[in-house]
Structure 1
Amino acid sequence: MNHAKSKHDDRHAMIRQRAAVLLGCTALAASPMTLRAQDQGDSAGTTVLEPVTVETSGIGASDADSIVAFGNSGGGKLATDFLDTAASVSVITAKEIQQRDARTVEQVLDYTAGVTTDFYGSDDRFDYYKIRGFDAYTYRDGLPLGAPFGGVREEPYAFERVEVLKGADSTIFGVSDPGGTVNFVSKTPRDERFGEAYITGGSYNHAEVGFDFGDNITEDDTLSYRLTGKFQNSDAEYDYSNDDESFIMGGLTWRIDDATTMTLIYDYLDSDGTPGSGGHPIGSDFDRSFFLGEPDYNYNDVTRNTVTWMFDHDFGSGLTFSSRARYSNSETGFGYAYVYEPVDNGDTIADRYYFGNAQSYDDFVIDAHFQYDTSFANIESRTLAGLQYETYSGTNDSYWAAAPGIDWTNPVYSGGPDYSGPYASTKSDQNTTSVYLQQELTFSEKLIASVGLRNDWLDLKQLDQLTDTTTSGDYSEFTGRAGLTYRITDEVSTYASYAQSVAPPTLGIDPERGEQYEVGVKYAPLAFPALFSASVYDLTKTNITVTNPATNMQESIGEARVRGIDLEAKAELMNNISLTAAYSYMMSEIVENGSGGNVGNELSFVPNNVASLWVDYELEGEGRRGDMTFGLGARYQSSYYFGEDNLIKSDPNITFDAAFSYDVAEHTTLQVNATNLFNEKYVAYGGYGADWYNQGRAVYVTLRQSW
């Protein structure tokens, strides 16, 4: 993509004029966007591009003002206009997150095509979501966080946007599952004064305060700061629960000169919650608040410290250097009693078990890459080459024991467990070194060819602290990606791509690999801010290892395939209406199974049809009445199986969400949000020992002051 003033730059300028929204989404967060003008030298030879600095606030400003994004950050690598990207990408901006009052990552992703969420219902330990039928990996500013299952529940208020890249993409981000990746883009300082503060109250004794503000420290705008915080005291929807959180994040950006920017961010997350309701007997219909766990053994605690460093330098003549690094340490632990009553014994006593876990880790990861932009004849070229290194060390202890049964007609609690010790205790060390290359060629501003190559070397070691035995392994994994995009007009493009993925291996088991074929079309009209996309894909995963929820043991199902369609629209229309619409069709199939069973069955937690629609209507103020915005959303998913045996499935369901905001005064807004407005109730996961209901109705009221 030529960084000279191109047709898509004109399109962005026209949208700014017509809709008064800030775009510039292809800028890297934490640094000003630099556009390059073509030298008027010898057109027959190679032309280097001279830097021309353009004032813009980058991703931060546009994402706060619009639900429509026209580009992605590339995970801190090749930032690209969506019309030029040979992949299906969705962006949930800060404005959309605020409008829907999305309080968890699952809620952030609820209205995204190809994504399914909340399939474990009232199990609150982790974020649960899949992309295109397979697990997704998470990243922050392009650096790996890992799988959401077993990880830390991220705080959405920390992020400027959430980017969802669908399908296999290890070439871009590194080892990951083939379903796709979720990249969180951190809030960073801006070169202007801005801010907000809010208070929230609502369901389950919820009380919350938050703030996000920043300014320039020096008069010449070379040094800026940003401070973001959220403090929450709350219960969950079931008895004997709590959902407390303290989050604080501070950042400094130093614009060393016109070509060099450095940002340092520190954030601290401390959550004090509970793991879940403990489940309910199969086939029962209790209130969601009914608790069959143990009040004295019911905790889910997280403490994490993170330091992130970002550095960008423009050498001129089309050559730039960027680096991202992050250090984090975390201590997490949960313990609870859960119902396990797979057989109807004809009594009212629910069998139960205790389960506990304690983890700690230290992780450091750094990525550095050079990018060279140039042009020759009618070809524009972008080349990116980089190196990534990660070192991880952590411990993991798991505990399990039988718990006394409980009479669900008259529950009497018996206290916590007396473990003799962990049933599993491991210490893991992992070093990963990666090299990657991405090349993009644009021919006559119409045809865009892209290719990516990456190799990851993994050095794994695990100590079983119960047996004092060590297992180790070295892996070298190569992945590739290729795509073609054709710009039919300034508003329409079509693409085809092939991509590979490889998941982090488990010692003693071959790494899980994936590959995807995809074709699609995208439309970004000039008349108003909007992006419409449609894609068809064929995604295959091999060497699959899954954990059977009935036995908690790993099983191999060999090879599985998902073929589907994703349709998505985000638009801000002229008549004060904005909308987000998504539809996905997914047909999954177990192609091979190492144990011989379940071949031909569908994968668990993969509904065939998922659809959502969110519409906002703004009624402009008149006289003393301020602006009012009315929002209504609906989410539908067809039934899905709870296990690969395809014996038990959920019911199809539809839930509604709503929002209302009123401008009480200038820069002061009162906002009301409701999730699951009509309190629709269904079993999100069940049939193998207990039923776990979906999340019930929750209503929150927020008063926000901005400046």
Structure 2
Amino acid sequence: MHIERTGAYPRQAVIRYRYAVLLGCTALIALAPTFSFGQEAASSSPDTTLKPIVIQGSRSSLNTDNDSKSIVATETTGGGKMPTDILDTPASVSVITSREIQERGASSVEEVLQYTAGVSTDFYGSDDRFDYFKIRGFDAYMYRDGLVIGRPFGGLREEAYAYERVEVLKGANSTGFGVSDPGGSVNFVTKRPKSDRFGEAYVTGGSFNHAETGFDFGDNITEDDTLSYRLTGKFKRAEAEYDYSQDDENFIMGGLTWRPSGDTSLSVVFDHLDKDGVPGSGGHPVGSDFARSRFFGEPDYNYRGINRNSVSVMFDHDFGDGLTFSTNARYSKANTDFGYAYVSNTPTGGSTIADRAYFGNDSTTEQFIIDAHLLYETSFDNIDSRSMLGLEYNTTQTYNDTYWGPAPGIDWTNPVYTGAPASVPLIASTKSDQKTKAVYFQEDVTFFDKLVATVGLRNDWLDLSETNRFDGSTAGADPSEFTKRFGLTYKITGELSAYVSYADSVAPPETGVEPEIGEQYEIGVKYRPDGFPALFSAAVYDLTKKNITVTEASPPFEQTTTGEIRVRGLDLEAKAELTNSLSVTAAYSYMDAEIVENGGVNEGNRPQRVPEHLASLWLNYALEGNGSRGDMTFGLGGRYMSSYYYDDANTGSSEGNVVFDAAFTYKIQENTTFQLNVSNLFDEKHIAQGGFGADFYNPGRTIMATLRQTW
């Protein structure tokens, strides 16, 4: 098998040195290594010549070489652990490349995902504790290099700069990466060392006293390319848009890749993430219309800390004759905490004194996970076969303490802060242990290079234990969960394919709670023209989830179970580099969501935080330099979200809204660019979360300016 694809058309660059502006780049250039640069990485200039993506022979690792050069990806592991052409994947998959992330200036996971079909973000407004997003109306599990991280709610906010790409699989598929939610999954692909010299360094400044610097560079250590390194870092000192806030971060990641032969590769990556911030604004009194900067929490009890260290090991070996072996492993330990006072109730009798409560959490999580699989590819007559057999082991231990108690009220017309509490009552203290052993099988069979049959089978054996550290009591469970996936893809032409699929999912249960079960039927079509880099896709689906566990939003945070929720919908998406000057990312989603069964309560209602319509459009237009000035790129985007209910009882709802974003890039010289990004261009303001005693607004306008040097 030999497939060669070229992602774009070259055109002559206009190179002019502009002495006055170059003086401002001195700090950036000082960050760059002093050795001579043999090959420059792609800048944000539109005149980049893309390398062809060459897929040849047996390969079990994903090729991400083009991700820094194009917004259009051609293959994915989102449908499973096998790198697969997106046209041959019987599922809706969106890939956000590092090029797209940089163009839009996305710095958080929510910002990375907000132009993706089927994905809703930012429905908690100024609550900044976690990454908040849903796929097709349901929570979605996060993975890193195919190894589970967990749910975003209750986790930590991932650093987008650590990843080469973000893959979004829409719909149920526990056979791919393991037990998970049926709405979909998000897989982060770690930046690894490359076999050539590359690099960038940047400085960013902007709204809310934002000051940031970062770098990402690598090279070969040995002359024969057998040993390479990569070093990535980001350091930020900033505030949030509300008073008494902080948003500081230190991130460093280093990796080594050893290639003793063309058939073997071993990568080891270490990363350290340290964040010192705040959990959110604490909310605003219901019905008020204060500026986002007003703060009704408690300045002396307002913190959000994250400290995580992880080591990832990735090994691939090609035995020849179509047989390859791969294993990924990761060890991580994370300590997180937060504490804040929030508005818990707004009086309606004329008083201006809002009730408040203290809420805090301390958590320590230690995880070791390893996956190993064999991939065998063979062909006979007019049949091509790819078979994967794998094993996975995951052990996770978590200590979790939750604090909650009443706080002094606050007069919103004349706020007077009372200082940090002497103590906050500890209402829950648990130790949780989860061990998972799994075996899985995946098969792709292609007949006459036209019809692709896909099968995925997996069984997970879970050993769950939870200890109440108040009284020492322990509860446990050892469920065994079997999941399956079937798909048929018909390649109508070399550019157009259609598919039909069935997939089911099982979310890992907690002790005393039934596992959440999901299933989905989907029909879709994908078009990738040969004439220019682009991918157009459309899908309709019927998705059902049963035994849904819901944690109440207010204390005592009890868990309840919803019987069945059904979502029927449509996803449309396009990513296209239409010309050398114009590229577009467009998405539309329709979701018909209903609570089907719930013991007679809220049946027929729409589930909380699930909008009916989502739409987005991002345009990038490049204007070539003319000698006296450099190349310029203009970006403009818009995001529409229809209204959604704050609770399953449908007692309160948000308003539909449109938010615009913009970007501008100026090429100062061959390897130096200035970039300006504006989020929420017109400062659109609406209530993103409400119904629990306070209102939380959507993020306001932010302006960021970046000076970037590449080599």
Could you say whether these structures have the same fold, taking a TM-score greater than 0.5 normalized by the shorter chain as the test? yes
Aligned counterpart in structure 1 of residue 51 of structure 2, from 5, 13, 22: 22
Corresponding position of 1:88 = 92
Aligned counterpart in structure 1 of residue 129 of structure 2, from 125, 129, 153: 125
Spell out, residue by residue over 1:581-602, the C-alpha distance to the aligned partner (whole angstroms, 9 max, x if none). 00000010000003x2100000
1:217 aligns with 2:221: yes
Secondary structure at the aligned position of 1:107 is classed as: helix
1:229 aligns with 2:258: no
Please give the residue correspondences for 1:3-402 in structure 2 after superposition, counting only pairs within 5 Å: 4-5=1-2, 9-10=3-4, 12-13=5-6, 20-24=49-53, 35-36=56-57, 59-74=63-78, 77-402=81-406
Alpha-carbon deviation of 1:416? 1.7
| Residue identity (%) | 63
Code of the residue aligned with 1:563 in structure 2: it is R
Please give the residue correspondences for 1:510-529 in structure 2 after superposition, counting only pairs within 5 Å: 510-529=514-533
Aligned counterpart in structure 2 of residue 478 of structure 1, from 472, 482, 504: 482
CA distance in 2, matches of 1:73, 1:476: 25
Spell out, residue by residue over 1:143-180, the C-alpha distance to the aligned partner (whole angstroms, 9 max, x if none). 00000001010000000000000000100010111110
Taking structure 2 as the reference length, the TM-score comes to 0.93
Contact 1:382 1:441 in 2 (8 A): yes
Structure 2 vs 1, CA of residues 352 and 420 (structure 1 numbering), >3 Å: closer, same or farther? closer
Contact 1:76 1:141 in 2 (8 A): no
Contact 2:546 2:565 in 1 (8 A): yes
Structure 2 vs 1, CA of residues 206 and 189 (structure 1 numbering), >3 Å: closer, same or farther? same
Secondary structure at the aligned position of 1:691 is classed as: strand
Code of the residue aligned with 2:50 in structure 1: it is V
Spell out, residue by residue over 1:520-562, the C-alpha distance to the aligned partner (whole angstroms, 9 max, x if none). 0000001100000000000000011112325532222210000
CA distance in 2, matches of 1:292, 1:90: 39
Contact 1:502 1:513 in 2 (8 A): yes
Contact 1:75 1:142 in 2 (8 A): no
Spell out, residue by residue over 1:119-165, the C-alpha distance to the aligned partner (whole angstroms, 9 max, x if none). 00000000000000000000000000000001010000000000000
Corresponding position of 1:569 = 574
CA distance in 1, matches of 2:424, 2:91: 51
Code of the residue aligned with 2:594 in structure 1: it is E
Spell out, residue by residue over 1:370-391, the C-alpha distance to the aligned partner (whole angstroms, 9 max, x if none). 0000012211000000000011
Structure 1: which 5+ residue stretches go unaligned?
A: 25-32, 37-50
Code of the residue aligned with 2:171 in structure 1: it is G
Structure 2 vs 1, CA of residues 448 and 75 (structure 1 numbering), >3 Å: closer, same or farther? closer
Secondary structure at the aligned position of 1:98 is classed as: helix
Corresponding position of 2:466 = 462
Spell out, residue by residue over 1:406-454, the C-alpha distance to the aligned partner (whole angstroms, 9 max, x if none). 0011100001223364110001111100000001100000000000000
CA distance in 1, matches of 2:9, 2:698: 41
CA distance in 2, matches of 1:142, 1:398: 30
Structure 2 vs 1, CA of residues 343 and 601 (structure 1 numbering), >3 Å: closer, same or farther? farther
Secondary structure at the aligned position of 1:192 is classed as: coil
CA distance in 1, matches of 2:397, 2:444: 36
Corresponding position of 2:28 = none
Corresponding position of 2:632 = 628
CA distance in 2, matches of 1:23, 1:669: 25
1:505 aligns with 2:509: yes
Spell out, residue by residue over 1:321-370, the C-alpha distance to the aligned partner (whole angstroms, 9 max, x if none). 00000000010000000001154131110100000000001100000000
Aligned counterpart in structure 1 of residue 592 of structure 2, from 571, 574, 587: 587
Corresponding position of 1:47 = none
Taking structure 1 as the reference length, the TM-score comes to 0.94
Alpha-carbon deviation of 1:456? 0.4
Code of the residue aligned with 1:668 in structure 2: it is T
Alpha-carbon deviation of 1:393? 1.1
Secondary structure at the aligned position of 1:106 is classed as: helix
CA distance in 1, matches of 2:109, 2:125: 14
Structure 2: which 5+ residue stretches go unaligned?
A: 12-47
Spell out, residue by residue over 1:622-658, the C-alpha distance to the aligned partner (whole angstroms, 9 max, x if none). 1131100000000001100000001110000000000
Contact 1:16 1:23 in 2 (8 A): no
Contact 1:518 1:537 in 2 (8 A): yes
Aligned counterpart in structure 1 of residue 669 of structure 2, from 665, 681, 699: 665
- Judge which range, 566-575 or 579-588, deviates more: 566-575
CA distance in 2, matches of 1:503, 1:124: 25
Corresponding position of 2:456 = 452
CA distance in 2, matches of 1:592, 1:296: 45
1:405 aligns with 2:405: no
Structure 2 vs 1, CA of residues 21 and 58 (structure 1 numbering), >3 Å: closer, same or farther? farther
Alpha-carbon deviation of 1:666? 1.2
1:641 aligns with 2:641: no
Contact 1:342 1:687 in 2 (8 A): no
Alpha-carbon deviation of 1:688? 1.9
Code of the residue aligned with 1:565 in structure 2: it is L
Structure 2 vs 1, CA of residues 202 and 417 (structure 1 numbering), >3 Å: closer, same or farther? same
CA distance in 1, matches of 2:561, 2:7: 54
Contact 1:656 1:678 in 2 (8 A): yes
Aligned counterpart in structure 2 of residue 553 of structure 1, from 538, 554, 558: 558
CA distance in 2, matches of 1:171, 1:124: 32
Structure 2 vs 1, CA of residues 350 and 337 (structure 1 numbering), >3 Å: closer, same or farther? same
Contact 2:78 2:187 in 1 (8 A): no
Structure 2 vs 1, CA of residues 75 and 520 (structure 1 numbering), >3 Å: closer, same or farther? closer
Contact 1:342 1:688 in 2 (8 A): no
Contact 1:15 1:526 in 2 (8 A): no
CA distance in 1, matches of 2:77, 2:671: 29
CA distance in 2, matches of 1:116, 1:590: 19
CA distance in 1, matches of 2:602, 2:706: 49
Corresponding position of 1:417 = 421
CA distance in 2, matches of 1:255, 1:669: 34
CA distance in 2, matches of 1:350, 1:62: 53
CA distance in 2, matches of 1:183, 1:441: 25
Contact 2:385 2:445 in 1 (8 A): yes
Spell out, residue by residue over 1:8-32, the C-alpha distance to the aligned partner (whole angstroms, 9 max, x if none). x25x1485789942353xxxxxxxx
Structure 2 vs 1, CA of residues 696 and 470 (structure 1 numbering), >3 Å: closer, same or farther? same
